[in-house]
Amino acid sequence: MRLGRVASPNGVAFVRVEGDGPDAVAHEIADHPFGEPAYTGKRWPLADLRVLSPILASKVVCVGKNYLAHAKEMGGEAPQEPLIFLKPSTSIVGPGAPIVLPSDAQTVHHEGELAVVIGRPCRNVPRDEAFSVVLGYTVGNDVSARDQQRQDGQWARAKGHDTFCPLGPWIETELDPEDLEIRTEVRGACEESWQLRQHSRTSLLIHSIPKLIAWCSRAMTLLPGDVILTGTPEGVGPIVDGDEVSIMIEGVGTLTNPVVSEKGAPHA
């Protein structure tokens, strides 16, 4: 099942998405997508709706250096245990929403990642029960200001800017996440073709998804809708004003976002 969130004729709504391409249809969910969803009976062509981030998490728990090749390209060793940090909920945006480059950041990178969406409140989850607390999986982009990361010595500002956590296009609930292809491509404003930046598989994760859920839930209560970004493979690189970033994860879908400078972004 694909669960999403859209701007519908009735306002913002959770939906179940059926079909693909121009034939995709969104079925409105009455309340929330957790448990067994109830439906209102309303449905619309997905192409007529604005697709939003599939969830608004209370927190996004991110995992650093969870692919060996990425740890090496960042000039360090892979951590023996998961290295986690948080992104604020205000960093979340959906498909098609711009990634806004802060005026005080000089080097901003994309990081394509598989995102785990939690389905029920949980704490101290055993590894062998980890998948029981998962609602599903979506695509994430852990956008990072590298110069601020180096300058600050910790990552809250560098990874916490508004728009620095694109998620989407939807949550896939029926998926084995253990060996999925992940690709990140970037296209410049004056370019017709996409440049492949990242290409890997989730089977190369150093710390598995069950271990990450157990590790994170040992430190903090995970709530329905919370997101765990599982780490990015090698190939991270800069994004600049006018670029588009597209991240595909096998079995889930493709998340695409334009990149704009702060001075060119619309004001809230």
Strand order in the sheet with 108-110: 144-145, 108-110, 237-238
Give the pair of three-digit tokens for residue 263.
């001075």
Q: Which CATH architecture has domain 2-52?
A: Roll (2.30)
Q: What is the pLDDT of residue 9?
A: 85
**pLDDT, tens only, 158-192:** 999 999 999 999 999 999 999 999 999 999 988 88
Calculate the average pLDDT of the chain.
95
The residue whose two tokens read 């697709």 is 51
**62 Cβ contact partners less than 8 Å away, ≥ 6 residues apart:** 84, 85, 86, 87, 142, 159, 228, 229, 231
How much is the average pLDDT of 133-152? 97
Q: How confident is the model at residue 28 (pLDDT cuts 50, 70, 90)?
A: very high
Instruction: Report the alpha-carbon distance of residue 267 to residue 29 in Å, rounded.
Output: 31
Q: What is the pLDDT of residues 103-117, one digit of tens each?
A: 999 999 999 999 999
CA angle 96–139–16, rounded 5-degree value = 80
Q: How confident is the model at residue 76 (pLDDT cuts 50, 70, 90)?
A: confident
Q: What is the pLDDT of residue 8?
A: 87
Task: Give whole-number Cα distances, 206 to 61, 82, 101, 194, in Å.
Answer: 17, 9, 30, 29
H/E run at residue 11: strand 11-18
pLDDT at 267 over 80: no
Architecture of domain 60-263: Alpha-Beta Complex (3.90)
Tell me what pLDDT residue 10 has: 83
- Residue ranges of the domains in the chain? 2-52, 60-263
